Amino acid sequence: MSYTPSKDRYSQMLYNRCGKSGIRLPAISLGLWHNFGSVDDFKNGRKIIRRAFDRGITHFDLANNYGPDPGTAEENFGKIVRKDFTGNLRDELIISSKAGYHMWPGPYGEWGSRKNLLSSLDQSLKRMQLAYVDIFYSHRPDPDTPLEETMMALDTAVRSGRALYAGISNYKAPEAKRAFEILKQLGTPCLIHQPRYSMFDRWVEDGLLDVLEQYGVGCIPFSPLAQGMLTDRYLKGIPKDSRAAKAVFLKSTDITSDRLQQIRDLNAIAQKRGQTLAQMALVWLLKDKRITSVLIGASSVEQLDNNVDCLSNLQIEDEYLKEIDNILRRTP
Ligand SMILES: NC(=O)c1ccc[n+]([C@@H]2O[C@H](COP(=O)([O-])OP(=O)(O)OC[C@H]3O[C@@H](n4cnc5c(N)ncnc54)[C@H](OP(=O)(O)O)[C@@H]3O)[C@@H](O)[C@H]2O)c1
C-alpha cells in the first residue's frame, strides 16, 4: 500500500529547540531499539513509523546494534524510508545512529576508538542505504580511549558529510563537560545528549542537566517509560507479548511487588488527571524546559497514539508533583 503522509502532520506536534542549535525536535521522538528487528513483524513496524510521521514525529533514533539481530533495525528502517519516504521526504526526517556497544568481533567492534566509530557509521549508512545520518552519537564513554580520539571521530563524521550533527549518550556530567569542550575546540559543537531518564531513574538531575544547559546542548531522555513499567502494561500481570516476558533488558523479576505498588499509586494520580500513566510519565519529563524531546518506544500504533496524546495536557500542578515525589521516594 502506497503512503501519502497526512497533510496536517505539523499542526499538532510541539517542536522544541535542541539546546542552542538551529534544530528543533519533536517533543516526542521514536526509537527503534525494540520492535523493528528481523524477529519482529515488518508490517507492524512500518505502520508505526507511518503513523508517527503522520502525527508530527520527525525524529527516528537508531543504533548499529538495534534488532535483534543486530543491524536489522537499521536494515528495516532503510527499507521503510525507501518505500514510504520518497521524493524530498528525507529532508523532513532527523535520523540518528550510534556506535560504541559491541557490534562485531575483535578489538575494533565496540567502544570509542576512531576505527570503531567511523567503520560502524559506514556500516550503518550501508545498512540503511542513506547518504548521511542527521545525528551520529558516541553510544557510551570508553574509559580506555582518550576522549579526544572519540570526539575527533565525531568531528570527522560531521566534516566528511556522513553526519550533520554530533551527539553523546550515557556520559556522566564531568565527562560530558569535557566532551563538550573538546568538540567546541574542534569546531563541531555537540548537539545533544541522550541519557536514560524517567521517574524511576533520576540520575541526570544530579548535575548533568545543569551542564547541558550551561553548554547549550539538548537532552533527549531514552526509556522515558522505564521500558513499559511506567504504563498500564503490567498492572494486571505480565502479558505474554510484553517486553518483560520477551526481551532481556527488562526482566519479569524487575517488576517486584513494591515496584508494582508504586506503579499502581502513580496510575491512580494519572487517572485523577484524566491521563494514562504513560502520558503522565512523559509530561513529567517534558515539564523541564531543558528536555528537548522524550525518546519513546512503541510496539503498536495504539501505544504510539496514546503517548503522543499526552501533548493535549502538558500542565502538571505542584500538588501532583509533590504526590509523585512522595511515591518515587519509596525506592523499591
Ligand atoms: N542510548 C542508549 O543507550 C539507549 C538505550 C536504550 C534505549 N535507547 C533509545 O530509546 C528508545 C526508547 O527506549 P524504550 O523502548 O526502552 O522506551 P520506553 O518508552 O521507556 O519503553 C517502550 C515500551 O513501553 C511499552 N509502551 C510504550 N508506550 C506504551 C503505552 N502507551 N501503553 C502501554 N505500554 C507502552 C511498550 O512495551 P511492550 O513492548 O511490552 O509493548 C514499549 O515497547 C529506544 O528505541 C532507543 O532508540 C537508547
pLDDT digits (tens, 9 = 90+) for 15-61: 999 999 999 999 999 999 999 999 999 999 999 999 999 999 999 99
pTM: 0.98
95: cell is 535520523
Residue 1 pLDDT more than 80?
A: no
Q: Is pLDDT at 76 greater than 90 in this prediction?
A: yes
**How many whole angstroms from 165 Cα to the centroid of ligand 1?**
24
Predicted local distance difference test score (pLDDT) of residue 330: 86
161-186 confidence digits (pLDDT tens)? 999 999 999 999 999 999 999 999 99
Backbone angles phi, psi at 61, to 5 degrees: -110, 130
Task: Read off the pLDDT of each residue in 287-295 and give the average, rounded to a whole number.
Answer: 98
Q: What is the pLDDT of residue 332?
A: 74
Q: What is the pLDDT of residues 182-220, one digit of tens each?
A: 999 999 999 999 999 999 999 999 999 999 999 999 999
Q: What percent of the chain has pLDDT over 90?
A: 98
Pocket of ligand 1 (CB under 6 A): 31-35, 61, 139, 169-170, 194, 222-228, 231-233, 242-243, 278, 295-299, 303, 306-307
Q: How many A from CA of 187 to the centre of ligand 1?
A: 33
Written as nine digits, the cell of 87 is 521524493
Q: What is the pLDDT of residue 331?
A: 75
Kindly state the cell numbers that stand for 119.
Answer: 567503520
Q: Which atom of ligand 1 is nearest to the CA of 302?
A: 31
C-alpha cell, 24:
528543533
201 vs 199: CA distance, rounded Å: 6
All three cell numbers of 19: 539546546
Strands 294-296 and 163-169: unpaired
- How far apart are alpha carbons 311 and 154 in whole angstroms? 33
Asked if 28 contacts 307 with a C-beta cutoff of 8 angstroms, the reply is yes
Cell readout for 290 is 531543558
- Indicate whether 9 pLDDT > 90: yes
Q: Which residue, judged by its Cα, is nearest atom 28 of ligand 1?
A: 303
The alpha carbon of 228 and the centre of ligand 1 are apart by a number of angstroms equal to 6
Rounded average pLDDT over 242-267? 95
pLDDT in tens, 210-228: 999 999 999 999 999 999 9
pLDDT at 310: 98
Mean pLDDT in residue range 230-257: 94
**What number does the ligand 1 atom closest to the CA of 244 have?**
40
Q: What are phi and psi of 173, to 5 degrees?
A: -55, -50
Average pLDDT, the chain: 97
CB atoms under 10 Å from CB of 322, counted, come to 10
Torsion of CA 90, 163, 109, 61, to 10 degrees: -50
The residue type found at 94 is I
Residue 216 zone, left/alpha/beta (φ > 0; ψ -120 to 50; rest):
left
Which pLDDT score is estimated for 174?
98
Domains of the chain: 15-231+284-313 (3.20.20.100)
Rounded to an integer, the average pLDDT of 255-268 is: 96
Task: Determine the pLDDT at residue 316.
Answer: 95
What cell numbers appear for 315 in the block? 500542565
Ligand 1 centre and the CA of 323: distance in Å?
A: 25
Alpha-helix residue ranges (DSSP H) falling in 68-207: 72-84, 114-128, 147-159, 173-186
Spacing, Cα 299 to ligand 1 middle (Å) = 8
Chain centroid offset of residue 94 CA: 12
Question: pLDDT digit string (tens) for 89-121?
Answer: 999 999 999 999 999 999 999 999 999 999 999
pLDDT tens-digit series, residues 118-158: 999 999 999 999 999 999 999 999 999 999 999 999 999 99
